Structure formats: structure tokens, C-alpha cells
Structure 1
Amino acid sequence: MKKFLLTALVLMMSVSVFTGCTKSAGSSEPKTTATSDELTPYGKYAETVTYTIGKSTPGIPKLPEGQSYENNAYTQYLKETLNVQSKDLFEAKSGDNYDQKVSMAVASGDLPDMMSVGADTLRQLVDNDMIADLTEVYKSSASDLVKEKYDSYNGRALEAATFDGKLMAMPSTSNANIPTMLWVRKDWLDKLGLAEPKTVADLEQILTAFIQKDPGGNGKGKTVGLALSKSIGGLYGSLFQADNIFATYHSFPRQWIEQDGQVVYGSLTDETKQGLGLLADWYKKGLIDPQMAVRDSIESLIISGEAGAFFGPWWSADYPLNDARRQNNSADWKPYIISEDGSGEITAYTQNPAAEFYVVRKGFEHPELLPKIASALNDKLVREDLNYQPVVDFITGGFDGGKPLGIGINFNDATGQMYKDLKAAVDGEKKVDTLTLDDRTSYNKIMEYLKDPEKADANQWSGYTSRMIGAKLMAETKVNEVNPVFFGQTKSMKLKWANLVKLEDETFLKIVTGQESLDYFDTFVSTWNKTGGNDITKEVAEAIKQK
């Protein structure tokens, strides 16, 4: 009942604000009161600037004793660097609690000077003229490196925050997590005298050998060839998805893509049907986990040594393979890139480059403060001031939630760059103390592994395998990127999307496991369109035109 009343209150307040506060498109934008020196990325204010924020906090507070969200290593750094101090207008746990606080702030019109919002809320704030145009202060107050990082997304990150040619927010970025890789028990390959895989056909031969010859000694019928999630595919950069298989057919499940000049939902294409057909054939042959439909923990298959292969991102050596290595130090997992023709060149869809959006309240006297703080945290602190001791102590102590604004801006190829930095340090071409704190930890594990690979512990093995083998494939694999054209939510999606996703998941699982024939895919497409999908597709196309 309380939840109902709160929701009703937000809705009523929203009507009041959005009908009473809407301004004309030509309303004047207050200018910053900063001096020309203060407008530069690291120009220190002559007088302390206090700004209010909507603070998203960790689920479990992790701050050092005596520190708070308004007074900690990060706020101290920003005070020393820029002479600014945050004040929390509201605090809420990240997720639904924080989103509810944002909704209340927007509905009441009582916005903090800066806060993070989702794409839908950003659109509301823009339409109702409630946030500042950041176009000019981004040019003057964002550092060159921050601009380079955004540029690495070929304009896609900032485009998501741009309306009618005006930059209305600064997004956190989501760097590339493709290609996902085929992880295989290399020790099993060696035991059976099998060549390393390059193609999908190679993988089929390997899986056949694994289940027929049981190189892990699990017992007849107990070895699983390919561990696969019951969600099948379309979850970007995730474990146990079959995206690599679908991509060889130019299929991109769950993604809104452009095909023959039209916006289509990737799960409905003929190419997706072909990918499902191959997986269904493999399942029928026993190459895929026969219990995938009811398997609660795929990780347990990997850790126990029952499975011989799975698809996963570059960091899979950290999880779940670190635990597998602890269980069996001889379990030698290795990542591979497989493609249709064995060239090593693959096609893969990309993710939404803008994870969340940071906005400035219209009327705040220092709109340049957002790009300045973003630059301090994502450039100066991680390069020039990377050894700033209070922050070093905060990070090494395992604490979290100190940054007043959680905006994270990375290069799109950040993982590949991490590999190159670590490789240079290992080869003696880069000073170790110039690495980030995380990379220094990885460097130590790598060097310990290289001393004696045969005796390396699980942490040393996973540190080396993920960052010197998995990340190397990330850096060197040629990827033909397919950029989805829509990541948002339409009006009909709010009511119908959950049921459509359920329909899709159930259909794909039934087809792969043989409960339905491949022809049932056509029935699925028809049902999907009739139960809201057709309306949603039209709304997506219209939303793209409006953007």
C-alpha cells in the first residue's frame, strides 16, 4: 500500500512539474561565473565551490573508519586539486532505491546540482528544460585525454547524450568486451592429440571427441562437451552464451539492428533460425550439456572438471576458472578465437557505449564543474597523481563508494591497452610504477607465474591467463563491429517487453533441446509480432528518427 501511495505521489508531482515548469526552446541558459583560468580542466577555484549531488551508494557501505561520503580520500583529492566540496542532497543505494530518489527529485523540481540518471530520465529532463547545456563547458573544461576517450567510441557515446546538437549530459562509458572467446581444456586436446580449434567445424570435432573418449576420466556419459546457458545468446560479453556461433551466421539475438534499410529485432531473423538449427543439431548429438534446461549452476560443471568447453569473455580465467584451477591445478584452460573460415577475423555486435548519464541542474553557477571533476577522476588521478597516497590506501584497503560522482570514462579498447601496458612492463619497456594500481597487482601475479608456471597457484595462473592471453586476443583480433541502433525503452516495451522476452527464452530453449522443431521458429516470430512486437518495432523506428 505504501509503495502504491508513493508511486501515485510521484506521478501527481510529475504532472505538476512537467506542465508547470516547461519552458520555451529559446529560454536563456545561465552562464558560468568561473574565470577563464577556473574554466580550464584543472584550474583551481579561488574560493571553495560547494555543490550538491544525488549520491548513489554501494549496497553495503565500505568506507574507512572516520570517513564519510562527503569526506573521504576522493573528496579530499578534489578539494586539494580543484577546491570543491560535495554535499549530498540525497543518498540512496544504487539500483531501485536510487532511481526512486531521482524520480522524486525530478517530480518535485528539487534537483541536486549534479546527479546520474538513466536514458529515459535524461530525455524527460531535456524535454522539460531542467538541465544545463554542457556543449561549451565540455569544450573548455574537459581534459584532452577525456575527450580522446570519448572519441574512441567514434562519436557514439556523446551522441547518446546529445539532443538537437546540444550536449546535455556526460555519460559513463562501457568499453568493448568483445570478442568473447572459446575456452577449451587444452590438456584434454593434448591428451587426445587434437589440434587447436580455428573454425566452428573444428569445435564440433573436438566436442565429439571429448564426449566419446572422456579425456577427463569422468566416466561414461558424464563428460559434457559444451556448457551453455539456457538463455542461449544475446547477453553481451557474458559467460556461457552462444553469440560466437550466431555471429558466424550474421545473427545478433536480442539486438535492434538495421537490415536491408529496415530496423529489425535480431532474434527474429532467418540467420538466427540457422544458428538455432546448428545448436539443436549439436544438442541432439550430445555435444551440448544435456541438462542445460534445468542446470542451476553451469560454473559447477567447469569447476568439477566435467565440461570441456564454454564461451566466455577475456576475464573468464578470473571467474570461474580460478576456482577450477584451485580444484585441479592440472586443468589447463586456454582461450581461442573461432570463425567461419578460420581466418581469426570475426563479426560481433557492440554494446551501448553510454552506461549512465551525469547531468547538471539548469541554473547551477558552475556547470563546468562536471567536466572538471570527470577529468580529475578519469585523467589526472589515474596518470599524474596515480600515487596519491590517500586514494592508494582507500583502494588497497578494499573500500568503495568514495567518489562523489561515479562517472567512469574509459577508452573503448581499454582491455587491449591494459594488455599492451602490462606486456611492456613485463618486457622491461615500461616502468612498473607508471601502471595503474590494478595493473600493478596484475603485473605481480604475472611475474610470479612466469617464475615457474608449473608451480604457479590459481591466482597467478588466472592473472597471467586473463591478462596476457585473453586480453592479448582482445587486442589483436580483428572484429567487424555491428552497432545496434537502439538501446532504450519505448512506451509499449514498458507493458509488453517482459512477456516477449519470456516467449523468446522459452522458444529458443525448446528448439535447441528438441522439444520443438526448428520450424516452430516461424510460429514464434508470428506470435512475437502479434503480441506487441510489431508495435514495439514501429516505436523503435520512430524513436530512431526523432533522435
Structure 2
Amino acid sequence: MNKRKISSLLAVTCITALIVSGCGGGSGKAEDKVVSEKDYEPYSKYESPVEFTIGRNTSHTNNLPKGDSIENNMATRYVESKVNVKAKVAWETDDMDQKLSLSMTTGELPDVMLVSRTIFNQLVDNDLIEDMTEVYEKTASEGVKNIYSSYGDLLLDQVKVDGKIMGLPMTNIGNQHQLLWIRKDWLDKVGGKLPQSVDDVWNLARTFVEKDASGTGKTIGFGMNQDAMNFSPIFAAYNAFPGQWIKKDGKVVYGSVQPEMKEALADLAEHYKEGLIDKQFAVRSDEEKEALVINGQAGMLFNPWWIGYTNYKDSIKQDPKAEWVAVSAPVDENGKFKTIRQDPVGGGIVVVRKGYPHPEAIMKSINLTTDFLYSLTDDAVQYKKEHASEGLTDHSRWNNEPTQIPMQVDYDDVLKRYYDDIMKADKAGSADGIQEDRVVSYEAYQEFKQKGTAVDANTYGEYLSRIEGQREANNPNLEVIPAGFYGTTETMKLKWANLQKMEQEMMLKIIMGQASIDAFDQFVSTWKKTGGDEITQEVEEMSSR
């Protein structure tokens, strides 16, 4: 990523603000910065309190104990007690990008911000945030560094500018692709077998419909999202990757306009016409689509590993025999189940206002918050035990909203680590040796093994996600394909929304038979002429830097 020219208006505004206030509404100026080598130590405690201000999305936390707040709760007190770092909320907003854009023009930036890629680029271009390279190298804890390094160079490369680390990214863990979930009790009922190929998948859906596996007289094959993206495994079996920038023949291209898409769309159109895809999928609300599954009208769907944390787990309430299994299907002609690696930056990037005197304090807060949320250290585990009465009233797991910096980081391969931990504990017959936050999953597994689908819905959901889902998310036949590009180009800002709308309309019309398959060729031609070629050129240039 190279620096672009600074906007004249913003530069003048911020220079003026720098003279008056240090271009920030926070807790110190650049010239006040006095940092010792001890201050850089990951867990060293300041003699005097160090405070930072933070701009946050509006908090919807309502499960804090009486008297606690976003600024003062068990998670924040843990950080304060260990390193003497305190956070103060500068403001809350429902539109972070708009709020930060306004703050940039006035020069009133908080010390810490969690920003989108777009705002990150603007802050970098206008030299408004700290270079965090030295802070990361010296102050990041072993736990945080291990997490980041699990992504190889992929993650930190997203926030490097001219080789400098300009922000600390939240993480988007790997293997969150769509899996095929099937009602095993229906499979047993019709005498079927788990599918592998595209034909196998459609044949099973056809069998469910023809034999009315639901017993309602209204059995459907699949539900589908309006943009058809939840059917990515079907597309991938044809080597088609809609909505993704991919590398092809040495160049970065947009998956939705590649010729492989045409064959995949023809397949979906054929099976929609046959009645194997919900005829009303384009007009159903999300709640109505969920109801098809929960009420036992649909016995197949595509969903990631975390299905058990959605309302789909409630299908067991309607039918105690509703047993779901996850399958990596369909596979391609080589037996591979393909998916594109999603953007490794998930949820945003933490940046520090340029001129804030103690950027290393922000790293310390992140170190301790990560330890706290995931019980990474004995100290964090002990603290939570000693202060258990101060925790969230509903015992939510991994809730990062009450923390000083609401930032989530985790290993790229955490799903495998998590699953392997549970399997080891199961073999040992005890959860004593596994990470504290995984005990609930181990216990749910034990209960499911004893009672089967007679467990309650929450226990069943935990089992579905952490055993069925995580196991299948790491299927040995999985082939993860690196994406060609993440991010936004200049022309995307102006034209991408219209291009996406055109793409979605094309896919819907072809799948539903409202347009012939040849409409795809016209779409590709129009897409290229109305900004697609220009964007592709920008993507190619940016990805080659």
C-alpha cells in the first residue's frame, strides 16, 4: 500500500488542529511522550495511571451486574489492576464511519479507534495514526503474537504501509465456509446415504421431496438466500466463486464474471425448476426461511460450523428426533471441497491517534483483554475465579463488548485446536487439561453421548457447532484457495454498489427462470463496461504492490 496525496482541505484542517490541540481530543500531545524500555514490557505496570479515550459503537450490553458500566466492569478492572491502564469512552455512535469522517475534519479524534478498511486508509493517507511497529514487536504478548503468526504473513500484511504496522487487526478465523447440513433421521427414514458429488446432493434432495420425508406433505429440498451466496459449495464444485476476487492464470479476476459461473447457474436454474429449491426463496423473510427448517419442512441446508448458535437448533423443540449431521459436499471432480479464504481482518482495525503519548499502553490493554477473554494465562483464570460474582449476569462467553477495547482476536486454526482439545478430553475422560472456555462444549458433548437428541436445545446447539460443525470444518478433503484481493478501490467507492445489485438481479433471474442462461453473457459485458474493467485494473495494481 502506498501513500496517496493528502486532501488539501483535510490537511489544512488537521494541521490547524495539531497546532491547537495535537489533532486529538485525548490524553496527551506528542511532545509529552516519555516512554522507558520498561514501559514497553508486555505486562509491566505504570507507576501512575495511563488513560486513553476511545470511540466506540453504541453499546447494547445489558447483562452487566448492577453498578457496573462499559468503563467499569470485571474485564476493565482486570486490566487496570495489572498495568494501571484505564479507558474512557469519548463517544458512542451507530455509524462509526460517518462519525470518524467528521472527527477527521475537525481534528477531534479519540486516542483509540476501531475502524473499517476505508477509514483506516484515510487515516493513513492523512498521517493521523501512530506507527505501531515498535510497539507490536516489543509490547505484544506471546499470546497475541502466537495468534497473529497463525495467519502467516496474511493478516499483518493487511495493515502494513511501506513495511510499517499501522494498526492491530481483529481476526476473522479460518474455515467458516458453508457446510451441507442434513437431517440424519430423514436420511435413515428414506434409506439414503450421505452425498459426495453434486448429483448426489440433488438426488438426496429429490428423494426427500418425493418421499415427503417431513411427513407434512410440503417437504422442500433447499432454502436459499436472495443473493444465492449460501450455495457457494455448489458453485465451488464447478470451480466458480461468486463475489470473490481470485487468482486465475496469473492475474486477479472477479469470480462472478468468469465462464465457470454460467455452468453453475444453469445447474441451479434446472433444479429450481424441478422444485428442489424453495420456490419462494426470493420473497421470504429470514424468519420465514428459518421456520422452514425449525418446523421440519426442510431437511437440508448450507450453513457454517456455528449453526448451533442460531435459531436452527430449535428444530429439536419441534421434533425431538431432529438429528443433524454436517457434510463437506459437494466435492469437485478431484474429490476436493473448495472454498475461498475469507478476509482475515474481521470486524475492524484498532488504530492509535498520532501524538498519543503511550501507544504501548494500548497494546498492554489488548494483551490482558485477550488473556481475560480466552483464559490464556493462569493469572487470568485465577482472577475470574476470584471475581466470579462480578461477571456478566447471563454468563455470556467471549463477549468482548464490556472490555476496554472491544477487539476479538483468535487463531486462524482455532476450530481445529478447539475440536482437538475436546476430543483429547473425551479420550481422557476429564476436562481438567483443556482451556477453561471450552469446558462447556466438552460437557455438552458428554451429555449428548448419554441422552442423544433428548438434551435441551442449548446443549444440542453447543454439540452441533463444537462437535459436528468443527469436525467437518476441518475435513481432510477441504481445499482453501487464497483470495486475490481484500479491500476497496477508488472506483469501488462509486460504482460497486450498483455492480453488486446488477449481479444479484442477474443471478436471481437466471435461477428462477425469469431469464435464460445467456443473460449471464450480457451481464458480463455490461459489468465490464460500467466499471468492472476499471475496478479490475485497480485491484490488479493494488494486489501487485
Normalised by the length of structure 1, the TM-score is 0.88
Q: Which runs of 4+ in 1 moved over 4 A?
A: 18-23, 29-32, 341-344
Tell me which residue corresponds to 2:40: 39
Tell me which residue corresponds to 1:514: 513
Q: After superposition, what is the alpha-carbon deviation per residue over 1:237-268, rounded to whole angstroms, capped at 9, x for unaligned?
A: xxxx1100111122111111221122211110
Following TM superposition, by how much is the alpha carbon of 1:435 offset from its aligned partner in structure 2, in angstroms? 2.9
Tell me which residue corresponds to 2:417: 417
Match of 1:394 among 391, 409, 412: 391
Alignment of 1:494-505 (within 5 A): 494-505=493-504
Tell me which residue corresponds to 2:57: 56
Match of 2:296 among 299, 305, 312: 305
Following TM superposition, by how much is the alpha carbon of 1:353 offset from its aligned partner in structure 2, in angstroms? 0.7
Match of 1:383 among 367, 376, 391: 376
Following TM superposition, by how much is the alpha carbon of 1:423 offset from its aligned partner in structure 2, in angstroms? 2.2
- Give, in whole Å, the separation in 1 of the partners of 2:394 and 2:321: 33
Tell me which residue corresponds to 2:106: 108
Alignment of 1:393-472 (within 5 A): 393-397=390-394, 401-428=401-428, 431-432=431-432, 434-437=434-437, 439-472=438-471
For residues 286 and 376 of structure 1, do their structure 2 counterparts lie closer, same or farther at Cα, with a shift above 3 Å needed? same
- Give, in whole Å, the separation in 2 of the partners of 1:51 and 1:294: 47
Residue pair 2:112, 2:352 contacting (<8 A) in 1 also? yes
Following TM superposition, by how much is the alpha carbon of 1:368 offset from its aligned partner in structure 2, in angstroms? 1.2
Alignment of 1:216-227 (within 5 A): 216-219=214-217, 222-227=218-223
Alignment of 1:77-476 (within 5 A): 77-88=78-89, 90-93=90-93, 95-96=94-95, 98-219=96-217, 222-233=218-229, 241-296=230-285, 297-340=288-331, 345-355=336-346, 356-379=348-371, 382-384=375-377, 385-389=380-384, 390=387, 393-397=390-394, 401-428=401-428, 431-432=431-432, 434-437=434-437, 439-476=438-475
Following TM superposition, by how much is the alpha carbon of 1:341 offset from its aligned partner in structure 2, in angstroms? 5.1
Tell me which residue corresponds to 2:489: 490
One-letter code aligned to 2:357? E
- Give, in whole Å, the separation in 2 of the partners of 1:522 and 1:199: 27
Q: After superposition, what is the alpha-carbon deviation per residue over 1:476-495, rounded to whole angstroms, capped at 9, x for unaligned?
A: 43432222232322232222
Q: Which range moved further: 165-174 or 47-56? A: 47-56
For residues 419 and 308 of structure 1, do their structure 2 counterparts lie closer, same or farther at Cα, with a shift above 3 Å needed? same
- Give, in whole Å, the separation in 2 of the partners of 1:414 and 1:30: 42
- Give, in whole Å, the separation in 2 of the partners of 1:393 and 1:433: 25
Residue pair 2:65, 2:393 contacting (<8 A) in 1 also? no
- Give, in whole Å, the separation in 1 of the partners of 2:87 and 2:8: 31
- Give, in whole Å, the separation in 1 of the partners of 2:352 and 2:388: 26
One-letter code aligned to 1:230? Q
Residue pair 1:322, 1:462 contacting (<8 A) in 2 also? yes
Root mean square deviation of aligned Cα: 2.5
Tell me which residue corresponds to 2:26: none
Q: Which range moved further: 380-389 or 103-112? A: 380-389
Residue pair 1:419, 1:475 contacting (<8 A) in 2 also? no
Residue pair 1:181, 1:337 contacting (<8 A) in 2 also? yes
For residues 59 and 397 of structure 1, do their structure 2 counterparts lie closer, same or farther at Cα, with a shift above 3 Å needed? closer
- Give, in whole Å, the separation in 1 of the partners of 2:467 and 2:41: 38
- Give, in whole Å, the separation in 2 of the partners of 1:125 and 1:63: 34
For residues 53 and 147 of structure 1, do their structure 2 counterparts lie closer, same or farther at Cα, with a shift above 3 Å needed? same
Q: State the identity as a percent.
A: 37
Q: Which range moved further: 401-410 or 441-450? A: 441-450
Gaps of 5+ in 1: 1-10, 24-28, 234-240
Residue pair 1:490, 1:536 contacting (<8 A) in 2 also? yes
Q: After superposition, what is the alpha-carbon deviation per residue over 1:415-469, rounded to whole angstroms, capped at 9, x for unaligned?
A: 22221222223333664485333x2333332222222215323222222222112
Tell me which residue corresponds to 1:3: none
- Give, in whole Å, the separation in 1 of the partners of 2:425 and 2:383: 21
One-letter code aligned to 1:364? Y
- Give, in whole Å, the separation in 1 of the partners of 2:18 and 2:506: 45
Q: After superposition, what is the alpha-carbon deviation per residue over 1:325-359, rounded to whole angstroms, capped at 9, x for unaligned?
A: 11111122211112435876422101111121111
Q: Which range moved further: 253-262 or 508-517? A: 253-262
- Give, in whole Å, the separation in 1 of the partners of 2:56 and 2:422: 34
For residues 454 and 50 of structure 1, do their structure 2 counterparts lie closer, same or farther at Cα, with a shift above 3 Å needed? closer
One-letter code aligned to 1:227? G
One-letter code aligned to 2:517? L
- Give, in whole Å, the separation in 1 of the partners of 2:76 and 2:16: 36
Residue pair 1:413, 1:475 contacting (<8 A) in 2 also? no
Following TM superposition, by how much is the alpha carbon of 1:536 offset from its aligned partner in structure 2, in angstroms? 2.1
Residue pair 1:486, 1:544 contacting (<8 A) in 2 also? yes
One-letter code aligned to 2:480? E
Following TM superposition, by how much is the alpha carbon of 1:205 offset from its aligned partner in structure 2, in angstroms? 1.4
- Give, in whole Å, the separation in 2 of the partners of 1:375 and 1:478: 35
